[in-house]
Structure 1
Amino acid sequence: MQRGDGPVVTVYDPFDPQFLADPYPAYRMLRDEDPVHRHVSTRNGIPPFRVLSRFEDVWNAVRDTETYSSAGGLTFVPDEIGKLGLAPTIVMLDPPRHGQLRGLVAKAFTPRRIGALENTVRGFVRALLDSFEGRRDVDLHREFSSPVPTFVLAELLGVPAADRVRFDPWVGALTALQDSGFDLSAMSAPDAVAEMFEYFTRLIAERRHEPGDDLISALTTVESGGELLTDWEILGFCFVMVAGGNDTTGNLISHAVMLLDTDHRQRDLLVDDPSRIPGALMETLRLEGSVQGLARTTTRDVELHGVTIPAGEKVMMLYGAANRDEREFGDTAEQFDVLRPIPRHLGFSTGPHFCIGSHLAKLQSQVALEELLARHPQVSVDPASGVRLQSSFTRGWVSLPASLG
């Protein structure tokens, strides 16, 4: 488990860099002493919100969409959807419309389509590793982990190669928004979203006129009972893929390498038997989840552990805390074990909002780790010299220096 520098912080403050460096002691405190925490912040006009941290509480709440609604947004920022000018994304809808839209998207976003990308992904990863030839030191996150999902998403969506440089500024603006504590007045995120939507609107129009063999083309033609996806609905899906499927997958790859470097015996298990890599990635996601938490809004008063959460209050579902809960994972919950059986966890959420891109994330991270360990089985990282992403929601890296061994 990677510890941050400085004293242990046991106060939950999603805007404090010291807390973000190592939030896990504070998570334990919440689970043990304050499982329905009420957080009050004076930063950026964020109103008070609740925080759930125990596994069973988060698991049940995320599955109860009637009580915990996604329609008010997934952060603790009031009216985040309107302020960013978002389309009605699939992750910000409740049943029944969520299920109807997800069903249409699933017809195009199939495991078969994702599986067909494996050779392309593997070729790209091998080319990245080839580019490191003759070098000992690299920035693992910037030069390896992060470029993989950018390439794959562009390939999947059918973005021409010449346009793929657009992805980094879009993701960078949304990352900077997280860094600012969602200070919308100071950041360029709304402009980035507008530019992203303008670009994909043109691409959708082109694909409606002349479909190709890409996901956007499939989304323009898929139907159920005579219903087609609207441009706004396709735009919302593109936003989710770019904003939610890019840095999360890159951080999963980087965290896997980091955790394996803390215990070389476990790294050797994967080098000796790469079939163990999928399980190791799920353990990585459990212990160092790319998404630390997302919010919901209560539709009624809720009684939990003797506390009343009033209707209309934002509630942070703290996946990062829940996935380390000893009540679910036993006394070794905070230890990294690539052989751990994990019947259930919240790394991809659960219930109706289970991550629709989970198969894609697994494919990319598995191929990346297979190829990296095959080429550089002694790879090591230097987290102390790295730069952590300063985000209340996404745990990850901006930079992670590595030695290829």
Structure 2
Amino acid sequence: MAVTAYYDPFDEAVLADPYPAYRRLRDDDPVHRHGKPPFWTLARFEDVWGAVRDPGTFSSAQGLTFLPDEIGKLGLAPTIVMQDPPLHGQLRALVSKGLTPRRVTDLEAMIRAFARERIAAMEQQAAEGIPVDLHRDFSARIPTFVLAHLLGVPEHDRARFGPWVSALTTLQDSGFDLAALNAADAVTEMFGYFSEVITARRANPGDDLISALTAAEVAGNTLTDWDILGFCFVMVAGGNDTTGNLISHAVTLLDGDHAQRELLLRQPDLLPGALLEFLRMEGSVQGLARTTLRPVVLHDIEIPAGEKVLMLFGAANRDEREFGPTADRLDVTREIPRHLGFSSGPHFCVGSHLARLQAKVALEELLSRHPDVGVDLPSAVRLRSPFTRGWVSLPVTGLAH
């Protein structure tokens, strides 16, 4: 008789530390059937890697969670992350015309200046005896600032980002239940604001990303206002917390392994590769769902058509079958030819180079000034989400020289 491992994505113990449950799934129940709500999970690297690269079997078009009517509850039409080929490829090609590597690279000096400002502000807070929160005061502030600048939001309007991101984060933290109305209101307000921006940029283009998106053209195709609104939503809802949590996780992991931190401090050129290791160890996105378009058999188990399947990136990225016996151990020198920190296949994260630049600059600045920076984990508050692993609050230590 097949072994069925325990996995409840809303269990407090699993949310606090999902990795023991992930190991049991990988070893004993790699194609796991969850009862209520009904969905399947894939936990081994090879299975998840293959599934995200097979949109003909595993579709994104019916939402990315295992929850019913996730799109309708927020008043959304499918965005670029909820599209399958060939439409997804057409939209991605257009979006990529605006979010070019050159546009991202040109942001580095601005990101570095802002990171230094935030570090100085945290130092001042600490000197005055005011509690300092690494996530709220530093990690999460950087992507909010960068995205507002990138999207051309004027400085006097940037305070609006905070409540939008907060409402969407609270939606996850409540188990996608009590805050749904607030999140829908936030989405409505966000779309209303960016609709006005898009109209203004079509009439008078600037040098921001929204202007570039209104002008983008590939093979005679252009982006509609809805396409651009959907991309703005993805950037605000997905680009903020994932990047902020990458920075916070990096500091947390290094504080938990001082030998690895010392190695990184001695060899700062390891940082670009170490970012992938941080993502592998503590992925901001722990899992996203697909819907099967046809029956599929994995490990002698058939998943019927029309079923929700949760791709557990967090489990796959610690699979010993892919990463060897040290898969559960931080190694900033690790060679990682394949990983799922930014997914893979058609839905490989379009903003991956932007996220990596922000994290690289933030960690360079923070570690160079405060090499002993750490976190007070007993006082920290984790985000309660089966999809995103991150922080609500993360008190900092080691800021004093």
- Give TM-score scaled by structure 1 length: 0.94
Q: Is the 8 A contact 1:176 1:187 kept in 2?
A: no
Q: Is the 8 A contact 1:88 1:233 kept in 2?
A: no
1:188 aligned counterpart, secondary structure: helix
Indicate whether 1:259 and 2:253 are aligned.
yes
Corresponding residue for residue 365 of structure 2: 371
Q: Could you report, residue by residue, the CA deviation over 1:299-336 in whole angstroms, capped at 9, with x for unpaired residues? A: 00111111110100000000000000000000000000
Indicate whether 1:33 and 2:28 are aligned.
yes
Counterpart of 2:228 (choices 226, 231, 234) is: 234
Corresponding residue for residue 294 of structure 1: 288
Q: Could you report, residue by residue, the CA deviation over 1:238-274 in whole angstroms, capped at 9, with x for unpaired residues? A: 0000000000100000000001011112111222222
Indicate whether 1:269 and 2:260 are aligned.
no
- In 1, Cα distance between equivalents of 2:319 and 2:180: 37
1:133 aligned counterpart, secondary structure: helix
Q: Is the 8 A contact 2:292 2:307 kept in 1?
A: yes
- The offset of 1:184, in angstroms, is 6.4
- In 2, Cα distance between equivalents of 1:52 and 1:276: 31
Structure 2 gaps of 5+ residues are none
- In 2, Cα distance between equivalents of 1:104 and 1:383: 42
Indicate whether 1:213 and 2:192 are aligned.
no
- The offset of 1:183, in angstroms, is 1.8
Distance 1:344 1:211, change over 3 A: same
Matched AA of 1:77: L
Matches within 5 A, 1:158-197: 158-183=152-177, 187-197=181-191
Q: Is the 8 A contact 2:171 2:179 kept in 1?
A: no
- In 1, Cα distance between equivalents of 2:357 and 2:369: 18
Distance 1:85 1:184, change over 3 A: farther
- In 2, Cα distance between equivalents of 1:399 and 1:133: 18
Matched AA of 1:103: A
Counterpart of 1:356 (choices 340, 350, 355) is: 350
Indicate whether 1:249 and 2:260 are aligned.
no
Matched AA of 1:153: L
Corresponding residue for residue 73 of structure 2: 83
Corresponding residue for residue 279 of structure 1: 273
Matches within 5 A, 1:100-139: 100-134=90-124, 135=126, 138-139=132-133
- The offset of 1:103, in angstroms, is 0.5
- The offset of 1:129, in angstroms, is 1.0
- The offset of 1:180, in angstroms, is 2.2
- In 2, Cα distance between equivalents of 1:212 and 1:352: 30
Corresponding residue for residue 5 of structure 1: none
Matched AA of 1:351: G
Matched AA of 2:20: P
Indicate whether 1:17 and 2:5 are aligned.
no
Deviates more, 1:390-399 or 1:275-284: 275-284
Corresponding residue for residue 194 of structure 2: 200
Corresponding residue for residue 390 of structure 1: 384
- In 1, Cα distance between equivalents of 2:87 and 2:336: 31
- The offset of 1:226, in angstroms, is 2.2
- The offset of 1:31, in angstroms, is 0.3
Indicate whether 1:141 and 2:135 are aligned.
yes
Q: Is the 8 A contact 1:173 1:187 kept in 2?
A: no
Q: Is the 8 A contact 1:63 1:352 kept in 2?
A: yes
2:132 aligned counterpart, secondary structure: strand
Deviates more, 1:292-301 or 1:124-133: 124-133
- In 2, Cα distance between equivalents of 1:186 and 1:144: 27
Q: Could you report, residue by residue, the CA deviation over 1:320-377 in whole angstroms, capped at 9, with x for unpaired residues? A: 0000000000000000010111111000000010000000000000000000001101
- Give TM-score scaled by structure 2 length: 0.95
- The offset of 1:188, in angstroms, is 1.0
Corresponding residue for residue 331 of structure 2: 337
1:246 aligned counterpart, secondary structure: helix
- The offset of 1:186, in angstroms, is 5.2
- In 1, Cα distance between equivalents of 2:122 and 2:17: 31
- In 1, Cα distance between equivalents of 2:176 and 2:367: 37
Q: Is the 8 A contact 1:253 1:365 kept in 2?
A: yes
Q: Could you report, residue by residue, the CA deviation over 1:119-152 in whole angstroms, capped at 9, with x for unpaired residues? A: 0000000111111235266211110101000000
Q: Is the 8 A contact 1:249 1:361 kept in 2?
A: yes
Q: Is the 8 A contact 2:74 2:180 kept in 1?
A: no
Counterpart of 1:305 (choices 288, 299, 308) is: 299
2:123 aligned counterpart, secondary structure: coil
- The offset of 1:82, in angstroms, is 2.0
1:138 aligned counterpart, secondary structure: coil
Q: Could you report, residue by residue, the CA deviation over 1:28-81 in whole angstroms, capped at 9, with x for unpaired residues? A: 00000000001112xxxx3x0000000000000000000000000000112211
- The offset of 1:154, in angstroms, is 0.4
- The offset of 1:388, in angstroms, is 0.2
Deviates more, 1:67-76 or 1:220-229: 220-229
Quote the RMSD (CA, aligned, Å).
1.2
- In 1, Cα distance between equivalents of 2:9 and 2:281: 18
Q: Is the 8 A contact 2:122 2:137 kept in 1?
A: no
Structure 1 gaps of 5+ residues are 1-9
Matched AA of 2:44: R
Corresponding residue for residue 3 of structure 1: none
- In 2, Cα distance between equivalents of 1:386 and 1:376: 20
Matched AA of 2:33: R
Percent sequence identity is 70
Matches within 5 A, 1:55-74: 55-74=45-64
- In 1, Cα distance between equivalents of 2:263 and 2:364: 12
- The offset of 1:19, in angstroms, is 1.2
